[in-house]
Amino acid sequence: MPQTADFSPKWATPPGRTIAHALVERGLNHSQLALQLERSVKFVSGLLSGQEQINNELAEALSRVVGSSARFWLSREQEYREALARLVTDNHDLEVWASALPLADMRRFGWIRATAGPQLIAECLSFFGVSSRERWHAKYEKAAAASAFRTSAAFDTDPAAVATWLRQGEIQAAQISCADWNPVKLRSALPGIRRLTRMKSPAQFLPELQRVCAAAGVAVVVTAAPAGCRASGAARYLDSGRPVIQLSQRYATDDQFWFTFFHEAGHLILHRRKRFFIDDPESIATHEEYEANEFAASQLLNEKQQGELQKLPTTYVAVIRFARAAGVAPGIVVGQMQHSKRIGFARLNKVRRKLDWDTVDNC
């Protein structure tokens, strides 16, 4: 009987994939797992993606909470790390692939830790949840390239940076427990969300925004944008069918943040047959983008208020009084006045609030 070569699979799946399946079977979410492991939700996210390694202590904890033996989890971890090492050895072009990613910002944001060598490549593969460069291209580059195509030629967009931003949004969205997707419920929730615009701090309004949207089946995440990613927001459906609204920290004022949120909500409500929208202020205009802009403006100020805005005196006092009566932040009123060219972009900016995202976890 002829000898057969040793079987060395050309892929690597982290132990987190096994943990995730076990969580579904037990009806646990990421927050509940973090609580039972006495770790942070961020740590659990890294564990599921393969970024965090399983040691003896964690293996024992997983055995108690998730099941199987500590020996099983340690063996699973060892198999994964050995598989990653083979991938790095067998695919020299992975080093070129990883070098094109926004590595400095990925480290700065805490998405990866390694600085060079096989460990860097392993962490990048784990971050994206793929086993090869080819899998990454198939899963992420197409969507990122589409966003670059839609962007004005006057501005540079890096598809790898966009793909990285989108992936981090997926990781964040997986940590949010959502009801079944219900577009009618989302639309009915928008007037209440509009009132959140009056809250000054993201630490105040973001948890409530996420809670209300999750009840309608939508995960809302805010993700720092690495260099080369000009996206202000995205609306899309994950492979699981879950809709996600992803917002960036690129624009620091309240009027820009809230207009972008309602714009992305408009995509989910108006364009349900489309699977993916990624938005950039310099994007080439499409019919869908125009509709989403009109939807956002109408949700922030109704038709009557829009008419009154055209006659509003362009003073701080008038703006603040109008905003209070309309039930929105004054910055939104100024933003709408600037957008409609009632005033220049340098006018009344004192009432537009700057948002401090450093006070918010998991952004």
CB burial readout 314-343, b (16+ within 10 A) else e = eeeeebeebbeebebbbbbbbbbbbeeeeb
**What is residue 266's predicted lDDT score, i.e. its pLDDT?**
96
Secondary structure E strands in the chain: 219-223, 233-237, 243-248, 276-279
Backbone angles phi, psi at 77, to 5 degrees: -65, -45
Q: Which of 95-104, 137-146, 235-244, 285-294 has the lowest mean pLDDT?
A: 137-146
Chain segment 163-182, per-residue pLDDT in tens: 999 999 999 998 898 999 99
Name, in order, each residue with C-beta under 8 angstroms of 357's C-beta and a sequence gap of 6 or more. Answer: 202, 222, 224, 249, 363
- The SS3 call for residue 88 is helix
Domains of the chain, earliest start first: 15-127 (1.10.260.40), 143-300 (no CATH)
Chain segment 6-21, per-residue pLDDT in tens: 334 445 678 888 898 8
Mean pLDDT of 90-98: 78
Confidence of residue 73 (pLDDT cuts 50, 70, 90): very high
Closest listed residue to residue 276, CA positions, set 146, 127, 172:
146
Tokens, residue 147: 């966003």
The pTM of the full predicted model, rounded to 2 decimals, is 0.79
| pLDDT beyond 90 at 325 | yes
- Do the beta carbons of residue 296 and residue 262 sit within 8 Å? yes
Mean pLDDT of 76-98: 78
**What is residue 9's predicted lDDT score, i.e. its pLDDT?**
41
Confidence of residue 51 (pLDDT cuts 50, 70, 90): confident
Instruction: Please give the share of the chain, as a percent, with pLDDT higher than 70.
Output: 89
Burial class (CB within 10 angstroms; exposed 0-12, middle 13-18, buried 19+) of 248:
buried
What is the chain's mean pLDDT, rounded?
85
Residue 273's CB is within 10 A of a number of other CB atoms, namely 5
**What is residue 91's predicted lDDT score, i.e. its pLDDT?**
62
**What is residue 2's predicted lDDT score, i.e. its pLDDT?**
39
Chain segment 29-50, per-residue pLDDT in tens: 888 999 999 999 888 888 887 7
